[in-house]
Amino acid sequence: MTELTPTQLDYMQADLDIGTAQDVFTDDELHALFTRALSQHPDLNGFMVAVALAWQQLLASASKRSRYVQGASREDLDRVYTQMKDRLADARQQAGLGSGRLTYGFVKLQRIEGEDLT
């Protein structure tokens, strides 16, 4: 596993605004994201790809909880979610992963009678 330098680790924690507490991402998880970024996109800035992957994970986690309104208004949650999407888009663009817009596609698989897919 390729590890972030101490300075890179500090920068990543600052870019994600998570501080040094290990309650959002542990140092090991950030190192693993960096390793994954380097292996998946060796031609791009591995640090920025790791930041984008981290934002993607935070956004996915937030979307699971977006239906629960507890102590915050729906508008507050929508605003936070929108800000997180914007941060992810910025990180993706800085990493060279594209325009920053996320596109999702859905595919329906259907068996064709008489076709052997093995």
Residue 32 confidence (pLDDT) above 80: yes
Q: Which two structure tokens, joined as six digits, stand for 116?
A: 């052997």
Does residue 115 fall inside a structural domain? no
Does residue 87 fall inside a structural domain? yes
Computed over every residue of the chain, the mean pLDDT equals 78
Q: Given this model, what pLDDT does residue 13 score?
A: 93
Alpha-carbon dihedral of residues 41, 47, 52, 55, nearest 10 degrees? 140
Does residue 16 fall inside a structural domain? yes
Does residue 108 fall inside a structural domain? no
Averaged pLDDT for residues 66-94 = 73
Residue 103 confidence (pLDDT) above 60: no
Does residue 112 fall inside a structural domain? no
Q: How far apart are CA 84 and CA 91, in angstroms?
A: 11
> Which stretches within 1-116 are classed as H helix?
6-15, 27-40, 46-65, 74-95
Residue 8 confidence (pLDDT) above 80: yes
Q: Chain centroid to CA 72: how far?
A: 24
For residues 78 and 91, the model is more confident at: 91
Does residue 36 fall inside a structural domain? yes
Does residue 38 fall inside a structural domain? yes
Averaged pLDDT for residues 1-18 = 90
Q: Given this model, what pLDDT does residue 14 score?
A: 92
Range of the domain at 91: 6-95
Number of domains in the chain: 1
